[in-house]
Chains A and B, each alone.
Chain A
Amino acid sequence: MSESLVSDGDLAGDDVRVTHPAAGVASLRARGAAALAALWQVTLVRRAVVLAALAAAWQLAALWQNNPLLFPTFTDTISALIEGLRHEDLFPASVASITVLLKGYVLAIALALGFVSVAIAVPFVKEVLLTLTAMFNPLPAIALLPLAMLWLGLGEASLLLVMVHAVLWPFALAALTGFEQVPETQRLVGRNYGLRGLSYIALILIPAALPSLLSGLKIAWAFAWRTLIAAELVFGVSSRSGGLGWYIYRNRNELLTDKVFAGLVTVILIGLLVEVLFRLVEQRTVRRWGLQR
């Protein structure tokens, strides 16, 4: 306790001892500045300030344009968002999109892990995987949609096909790179304890490759989300609720631009939420283990 008192006196400077009135004010100001600086160190605070500035700029630009049909204001968009969530089908549309997304994502990740597990054991399969990845990675998933619709019709199956394509290749590449970068010593340690096959992959390779796997999951998630929203612009998933892309497309047709904006904001918000989730996972794993800074 006494130590902190001494350091406070030091902060305020020599002037305090002669009780100069201006010194107290200066010290208060210094403390205020220090508190602000500390607050600025918090990532969430910095992000909130950036978002608030963007919202203000949007509001001003929209007011200046004064054309709600083409460019609704921030406040109009937010009220459309709340209205949409409470009384209209924005919420079920979001749930529909996320449900389809999770199905496709999990399916593709499982396929990729299976493929890569075989590829690290069998050189020929690795050759196949690398060739396929090189071929399909540059091919935008949405370009497969016409073919998917032709083969599988207008429905979830088509969406799943394009999403598996969007996720499988980038994630497989990240996983393969991650597994290959596992330090030789850690591989030998695992083999030393008699680990083989699946237990070797699960107990050594996957945790050791987690930085690459997580970044692959992040990239794959972004690809999947973009692809899904784009695909939903073409057709709705189910009869009742067509997903977020469909919500945006439908409201554009009715020139309800504030709802189009509300749909886009929802897409962004869900993206941010997932980003935060990934960050939490990273903090509890790879950052905690010193594998990533």
Chain B
Amino acid sequence: MTNLHLKILALILCALGVAGVWYKVSVIGLPLQPDAETQTWTVEARVSYQAEGGPTQVRLFLPGTQPKFSVLGEDFVSGSFGLARESEGNNRIALWTARRASGEQTLYYRIRLAADRDGDSVLTGPQPPFPSVPDYPEPYGSAAKTVLEEVRRESADIASFTRRLLIRYGATSPDENVQVLREDPDTDLEHVENIIHILAGARIPARPVKVLHLRDRMRRGTLDTFLEVHNGTEWVAFNPRTGQRGYEDDMLVWYRGAGELLQLSGGSGGQVEFSAALTVRQMVSIAEQRAAQRGSLLMDFSLLGLPVQTQNVYRLLLLIPIGALVMVFMRNVIGVSTFGTFMPILIALAFRETQLLWGIFLFTFIVAMGLAIRFYLENLKLLLVPRLAAVLTVVVLLLAAVTILTHKLGLERGLSIALFPMVILAMTIERMSLVWEEHGPSEAIKQGVGSLVVAVIGYLVMFRPQLEHLVFYFPELLLIVLAVTLLMGRYTGYRLTELWRFRHLLREMNKS
């Protein structure tokens, strides 16, 4: 009954822990590795034009949600202009206005992006109205009809239809029908619009999409035009030149539709230049920004929201349950005897500052010196609490002496000795001297070495960069630690040391 209850509880705790980790890894994108890095893009659109002195207004399309990126943040440099953001269908628009402006005006828009393979996609949407078959002039009409007929025969659905059409249209040595259809367009947009015009002959809804092909250290970049066709359930993107389906990984969708990127009033000579730069950043900070952008509650109420100093405290505190688990394992499964239940874990925390070898040396030194003084104090027949206080004072003096000495010797490591938990050391010395007197030196040394060994193992387990990272960014892992601890609480099997303790008995009983 108790066991079933316990197992269910442990299962629930584990499930909660795993669910939290899963959410953070797959949705927010927190990395499981401490030093994971990813690439981020900073893309800038620079708008410049000549204002005519009167009221002026600038309308610029802005990138919306992206198929290949997640947006980390954006900002505007507006000068004396007022800024408003609007949306129009799937597109976002920045609207800069000023009552009076004259001469050269420059406005900036900057967006920071992180690569996100399965980023949001607005490709699904309601079925747009089917275009009506246009009245093609001859010979364009019959050429279009022939090509569409042939392409339809070679394809299975709207996507493959479009692809076939694009390949056919873009062929280097086109047949005569295609030659009629091709009108030697000047721009990308006209090219795409021509294709949309042809697709309308098959009543396929299509639209042009303006994309920015990101390249590192790009200056004066311009938008390319892509094609999206609706296949009845979603919009499918095509490269109109190659017939390649979908956007490439470094393509930023700026806006959809045939509208002008920049619309001006009260000015002339408008120009938009794009620049982009690639930077490598910690995945952790990107995940934080991404979560903030999404307004994720779980991340908002996480340790990452705390002041850095407090965060650093928790980086350490969250490791203590791991140490406690080590302690449980060492005591209940291995059967090591130590001074005090959690003393070795506190010593292990001190080792973090002193480093392992110095830590072991300093700990042994302080305890040995403390014991010697404790034995001397025994002669004075002091009461317990004053004696403890005296040992504590001596321990503090010893720590100070060691620090000064090592500093003079130029060994900076020695300075970290001040981080040893003095009170714990004093208690350890007292306990050790009692065990020494009552159970003999061998027992005292056995327990002392046991404590040190557990502290070292605790240190080795607790202070791995990987583990520190995991418990800090995924504190819900401690629920799993808790579950394991609870299960260990009902471990009724033997301890490893009991194999040794009962070895003769085992031999004896197996004989008979």
Real complex partners, A and B? no
Q: Which residues of A contact B (CB under 8 A)?
A: none
